[in-house]
């Protein structure tokens, strides 16, 4: 008889698959203690490196806005002619700090913009989608990417077991196992905000948005065989490439573009536009040019700037905000919580994280409070002693919420096959052959039961997909 899952307090868990949300599209409810416990516990599982995205490289640069998108947003950082200093940290996701750069993995693409209205952090990847859509499954997924608790080895079986039981992962798995899963270097990847965010204009009108950064250096990738050779010579191949290109004045650049969707379009969209496993078709939601991002300055001290850099999607500025994306809402909590644990309570006082604007909060004491604030009578709010006050003009417009609070099954009625099928059909014969070969390599040692379960999912994407993997596996 199977054991019954409980919380750390011994309370029985009724649903470990779906977060508690207001309506099937969210937003999430803070009373979902099981979700908060899982996320908070995961943030404290490893010391001191990042739980995920541990191996990273970074550089300073500028974001320059060349096009007028003021009809969508009042954010000063996104107004035509504005140039903003920023910091971009690239990373692998699964590997530890000592892992090799040239490994098949998603690449992190985390940006911090030091704007005139405070810091704006855009924490994304080099893929527009992710493996899961409900944050209840994030700690479970990351466990499959880390080391087995008994062998201390990475486990292909764990990864494919989880993916084969999670059809929503098909889109991201197809990207990861394609040629784009092994980029030559950080200069040769696109970056995506991945989540759906929102833009708010000076009329208080909200528009849903996707952020894209397209590399001007071109997409370049390794085969598995090429990457093995590279790793044998240099484990920091991507970091070396980025650092040396900036040192010699060959500054990498990305075109900054957005997609937008009105609230009416979102309501009538045939899929959930706040689902992190989905892309917005470019034909329906065309790309809009915004500006150019350039990296032009290497960090002066790796630990002080790259290791202590702390990004969180909770950091937004007036005119840029969030959406009912369940994964985004959970990251708003978990990223900042991870930094408080890993770096320290006052992590945003560190030079790399400190905004260029004046900071006025009522936070007190705690570790690393090195600002040496002068004590006043205004140490709470509201007060009668001239302390900082709120400004109602910055309150965001409301967004609609409907539905009963419930743990909605995020897989029920969801099409997890059409978008991976569209991606597969865009691939050339050589790209498909590489996809099949990469999957076969990654399935080394995986039990047939799990392989067959995953192939059955590939078959629902396209019969050619399934047959190609079968052939590559020698079936």
Element (DSSP H or E) covering residue 331: helix 326-342
Element (DSSP H or E) covering residue 407: strand 405-407
Phi and psi, residue 297, nearest 5°? -150, 120
Give Cα separations from 2 to 5, 16, 17, 141, 366 (angstroms): 9, 15, 17, 21, 43
Q: Between 429-442 and 463-472, two packed helices, what is the crossing angle to 10 degrees?
A: 50
Answer whether 137's CB lies under 8 Å from 16's CB: no
What string of DSSP letters covers 200-267? Answer: E-TT--EEEEEEEEEESS---B--HHHHHHHHHH-TTHHHHHHHHHHHTT---EEEEEEEEE-HHHHH
Alpha helices in 121-192 (DSSP H): 138-145, 156-164, 170-177
Alpha helices in 32-137 (DSSP H): 33-43
Give CA–CA dist 313/335, Å, rounded: 7
Q: Between 156-164 and 448-461, two packed helices, what is the crossing angle to 10 degrees?
A: 40
Nearest-Å Rg of the Cα atoms of the chain is 23
Give CA–CA dist 50/199, Å, rounded: 30
DSSP SS3 for 194: coil
Which listed residue (18, 53, 119, 272) is catalytic? 53
Give CA–CA dist 310/296, Å, rounded: 20
What the block records as the tokens of 286 is 């065309």
Give CA–CA dist 71/78, Å, rounded: 11
Answer whether 192's CB lies under 8 Å from 210's CB: yes
Q: Is 53 a catalytic residue?
A: yes
Q: Is 125 a catalytic residue?
A: yes
- Nearest partner of 90 among 48, 123, 42, judged by Cα: 123
Q: CA 462, 465, 466, 468: dihedral to nearest 10 degrees? A: 150
DSSP SS3 for 381: coil
User: Which residue(s) pair with 65 in the sheet?
Assistant: 291
Which listed residue (43, 125, 190, 353) is catalytic? 125
Burial of 41 (0-12, 13-18, 19+ CB in 10 A): exposed
The residues annotated with a catalytic role in the active site are 53, 125
């Amino acid at each position: 008889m199977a054991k019954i899952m409980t919380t750390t307090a011994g309370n029985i868990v009724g649903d470990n698959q779906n977060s508690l949300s207001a309506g099937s599209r969210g937003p999430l409810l803070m009373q979902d203690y099981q979700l908060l416990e899982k996320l908070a516990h995961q943030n404290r599982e490893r010391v001191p490196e990042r739980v995920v995205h541990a191996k990273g490289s970074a550089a300073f640069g500028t974001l320059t806005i060349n096009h007028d998108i003021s009809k969508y947003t009042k954010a000063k950082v996104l107004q035509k002619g504005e140039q903003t200093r920023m910091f971009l940290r690239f990373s692998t996701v699964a590997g530890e700090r000592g892992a090799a750069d040239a490994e098949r993995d998603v690449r992190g693409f985390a940006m911090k913009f030091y704007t005139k209205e405070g810091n704006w952090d855009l924490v994304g990847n080099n893929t527009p989608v992710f493996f899961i859509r409900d944050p209840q499954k994030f700690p479970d997924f990351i466990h499959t990417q880390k080391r087995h608790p008994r062998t201390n080895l990475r486990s292909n079986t764990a990864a494919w077991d989880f993916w084969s039981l999670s059809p929503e992962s098909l889109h991201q798995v197809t990207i990861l196992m394609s040629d784009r899963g092994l980029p030559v270097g950080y200069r040769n990847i696109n970056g995506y905000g991945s989540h759906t965010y929102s833009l708010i204009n000076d009329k208080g009108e909200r528009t849903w948005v996707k952020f894209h950064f397209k590399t001007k250096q071109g997409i370049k990738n390794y085969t598995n065989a090429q990457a093995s050779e590279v790793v044998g010579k240099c484990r920091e191949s991507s970091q070396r490439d980025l650092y040396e290109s900036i040192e010699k004045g060959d500054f990498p650049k990305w075109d900054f573009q957005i997609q937008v969707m009105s609230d009416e379009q979102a309501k009538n969209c045939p899929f959930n536009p706040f689902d992190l496993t989905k892309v917005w078709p470019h034909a329906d939601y065309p790309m809009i040019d915004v500006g150019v991002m350039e990296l032009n300055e290497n960090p002066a001290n790796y630990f002080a700037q790259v290791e202590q850099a702390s990004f969180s999607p909770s950091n937004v500025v007036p005119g840029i905000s969030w959406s009912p994306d369940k994964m985004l809402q959970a990251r708003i909590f978990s990223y900042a919580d991870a930094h408080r644990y890993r770096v320290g309570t006052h992590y945003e006082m560190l030079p790399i994280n400190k905004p260029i604007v004046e900071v006025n909060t009522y936070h007190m004491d705690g570790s690393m409070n090195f600002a040496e604030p002068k004590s006043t009578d205004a140490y709470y709010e509201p007060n009668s002693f001239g302390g900082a006050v709120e400004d109602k003009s910055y309150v965001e417009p409301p967004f609609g919420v409907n539905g009963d609070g419930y743990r909605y099954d995020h897989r029920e009625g969801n099409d997890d096959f059409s978008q991976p099928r569209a991606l597969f059909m865009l691939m050339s014969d050589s790209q498909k052959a590489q996809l099949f070969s990469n999957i076969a390599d990654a399935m080394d040692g995986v039990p047939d039961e799990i392989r067959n379960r995953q192939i059955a999912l590939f078959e629902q994407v396209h019969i050619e997909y399934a047959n190609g993997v079968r052939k590559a596996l020698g079936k």
